Amino acid sequence: MPPPPFLTALLEPYAAPPPPTRPHVTLTFAQSLDGKIGGLHSTPLPLSGAESMQMTHWLRTLHEGILVGGATARGDDPQLNTRHLPPPARDAPPHPAPRPIVLDSTLLLSPSCKLLRNFNAGTGRRPWIVGVGPPQCDAEWEKRRTALEGAGARVLLLDLSDTEREATRTPALLALLRAQGVRTLMVEGGARVIRSFLSAPCNVDTILITTAPVLVGPGVDWADGVGKLDAWRVVETRLVGRDSVVALVARPEEEDAT
Ligand SMILES: NC(=O)C1=CN([C@@H]2O[C@H](COP(=O)(O)OP(=O)(O)OC[C@H]3O[C@@H](n4cnc5c(N)ncnc54)[C@H](OP(=O)(O)O)[C@@H]3O)[C@@H](O)[C@H]2O)C=CC1
Ligand SMILES: Nc1nc(O)c(N)c(N[C@@H]2O[C@H](COP(=O)(O)O)[C@@H](O)[C@H]2O)n1
């Protein structure tokens, strides 16, 4: 069974080589009707129904890397694999699995997280952890780095000063991943990562938002401070099971954004 044709059509432009400075980037997440992607507690909040969750797992097969922020990695303990897909047909190759990438500036991820457990069990790819540093003379940080590497992670470091961090770290991160050979990247969140990627339209090629017909109430609001998404145009809306899915692509500069 192949991925849904609307997904492959949406990502057709990714067949072209990415720019030298970054991968092709898809930003995707599931939200509630009241725009929440998480609850008040640091635990995963299931929003997607079975069909849209499977769609997300198909989308994972279409990317070389899958990225989450440190808070998501610590709170959700995600696997970032394709386990919700039907098994491939007999004699067909396994579904491609993206490389898990965690943005974890201070290397606080647990060495016994599921990503590392799956890697060590031979059921997941080696996760990459992107930190910022190294901070000078910080023995605790060195200890955490050694523990993560000992557990199988590859630690990559962004060399950014504190003043550079908010404005330039997403472009710097994308350049780092591109230099490491990542040509297509799926970004799943959380809220801070979404905001940081949306802070400049040139960070993202495609946005795909699943909206589940539920209300969360107090929780994690991804859109707070994002603005109007004027730089984006809708290219697809569809029902996937009980959820609605909207896809947007970067609007060409010459097009009127009204
Ligand atoms: N429904 C969905 O589809 C999804 C929901 N979620 C939910 O999102 C919530 C977590 O979101 P949130 O708390 O905002 O945390 P994030 O997962 O966005 O992680 C933010 C952390 O990542 C680090 N970081 C490193 N580089 C960057 C960068 N370029 N941009 C932004 N952050 C960076 C920051 O560390 P530092 O400050 O040290 O630099 C920050 O602490 C959870 O509730 C989770 O369940 C998450 C993914 C998808
Ligand atoms: N598409 C989608 N729908 C939801 O309802 C979600 N809660 C999420 N969360 C994201 O998926 C990660 C979990 O991945 P695994 O199931 O462990 O593979 C979670 O960390 C969020 O990034 N996504």
Q: What is the pLDDT of residues 70-92, one digit of tens each?
A: 999 999 999 999 999 999 988 89
User: What is the band of 166 on the pLDDT scale with cuts at 50, 70, 90?
Assistant: low
Nearest to 27 by CA among 214, 244, 209: 209
The answer to whether 147 and 26 have CB atoms below 8 angstroms apart is no
pLDDT score of 139 more than 60? yes
Given a contact cutoff of 8 angstroms between Cβ atoms, the answer to whether 39 and 45 are in contact is yes
Look at residue 258 and tell me whether its pLDDT is greater than 70.
no
Pocket of ligand 2 (CB under 6 A): 30, 44-48, 53, 56, 68, 72, 76, 78-81, 188-189, 210
pLDDT for 165 beyond 90:
no
Ligand 2, atom 21, residue with closest C-alpha: 188
Kindly tell me if the per-residue pLDDT of 162 is higher than 80: no
CA of 68 to the centre of ligand 2 (A): 10
122 HSE (CA, 13 A, CB side):
0
> What is the Cα–Cα distance from 104 to 127, expressed in whole angstroms?
12
The count of residues in the chain is: 258
Candidate from 26, 32, 36, 37 with most ligand 1 atoms within 8 A of CB, to mutate:
37
Ligand 1 closest atom vs CA 38: 43
Q: Given this model, what pLDDT does residue 6 score? A: 97
If we measure between CA atoms, which residue out of 33, 31, 3 comes closest to residue 188? 31
User: Model confidence over 219-241: pLDDT tens digits?
Assistant: 999 998 898 888 899 999 999 99
Condensed to tens digits (0 to 9), the pLDDT of residues 104-114 reads 999 999 999 99
Residue among 166, 206, 200, 160 nearest 185 (CA): 206
Residue labelled with tokens 């930190």: 131
